Structure 1
């Protein structure tokens, strides 16, 4: 049994993640905290295998929470669960020497499988599945991003489609199911108000 504590000030988000993880018999959510200070206090009194930490929290934010956990030599795996797919944010998290970096819109099975891999000693960073060329700011201008309000995962998939990857290849690269990739692509077409991939790529190239 892998014991997990979650620190996220968004109650619906933390409870949703807890529900997903506890659907697997190997995972147990032992604590949900509203901020970093609450998490640190809990870890000082209890043993936990892995913590999921949001970056933006009141009282004590994610980076400072991680620094305290490391300075106190608390023996647990540290995973950042973030909505950001930004190079600078990602780089700062890597500097903290965390064990994993996951997007909040990750596929449920990807989240479960990745936590198990991290617990078994394998670091994992979702951002590693994109390249600098696929960073949204490199592909899309601010006008495009502000107009269409695409999620980080949708931007990743658009970038990979632009590079010629198939649904199966995208699924393998992002550790998603093919069905999830297809659902994302359908949602992307709807948000962009285009009928097919050719029109999507034309819109992007002309943006």
Structure 2
């Protein structure tokens, strides 16, 4: 495997030191420079010519988004992997639109980081996994609030999702190891709590709220 030359840019020296220590265990990763501010990144990047720039968004002097834009405009061969604490979808989308090659949250493992470095170094984009994970997390939070708002039990929540994908009372009973009669009782209670009359209305609600993306 060819060496992957890495440049690390983060406003916290402690994190840089930690990354240098952790990545030193990987013989094919070569750290060729570091910076604590965006201006130094832009001054160094053309001289050092890294394969991958590990970039924090929260950088002084020149912020991470500006760094992405300027590096991609003048040194498009440098792959940019953003390493950030921000998990908001609109930030990730903006990073992608600016031309970055990947996005990784700082709460991941060193193995996740190394895998991401290899992915972007090989010319692959790394956004799909994080956006789907965040969407799943956001959906989980929404469903928790939804359950509280309508006083749904955990059992009713499970049955609701199965109703939303068109499962019959017999099919739901088989899956949850309860009788079809018990399922029918739960179905009536769920419809009453939601103020709905038909299962088709639950299916429409589920589609509109995006509950079924991971079903």
TM-score scaled by structure 1? 0.63
Q: Identify the residue that residue 131 of structure 2 maps to in structure 1.
A: 128
Contact 1:7 1:33 in 2 (8 A): yes
Contact 2:87 2:134 in 1 (8 A): no
Shift of 1:73: 2.8
Contact 1:51 1:79 in 2 (8 A): yes
Structure 1: give runs of 5+ residues left out of the alignment.
142-162, 164-207
Largest Rg, 1 or 2: 2
Give the distance between the partners of 1:11 and 1:46, measured in 2 at CA: 19
Task: Indicate the larger mover: 126-135 or 40-49.
Answer: 126-135
Structure 1 residues 50-199: aligned runs within 5 Å: 50-125=52-127, 126-130=129-133, 132-135=135-138, 138=142
Size of the alignment, in residue pairs? 142
Give the distance between the partners of 2:120 and 2:70, measured in 1 at CA: 20
Shift of 1:128: 2.9
Deviations 1:113-166 (A, max 9, x none): 22112111221125234153422764677xxxxxxxxxxxxxxxxxxxxx9xxx
Structure 2: give runs of 5+ residues left out of the alignment.
146-160, 162-215
Shift of 1:38: 0.3
Contact 1:133 1:139 in 2 (8 A): no
Deviations 1:42-88 (A, max 9, x none): 01222211101100111011000111101213521011000111112
TM-score scaled by structure 2? 0.61
Does 1:29 find its partner at 2:31? yes
Structure 1 residues 61 and 138: CA distance shift in structure 2, 3 A: farther
Give the distance between the partners of 2:43 and 2:141, measured in 1 at CA: 38
Contact 1:3 1:27 in 2 (8 A): yes
Structure 1 residues 60 and 131: CA distance shift in structure 2, 3 A: closer
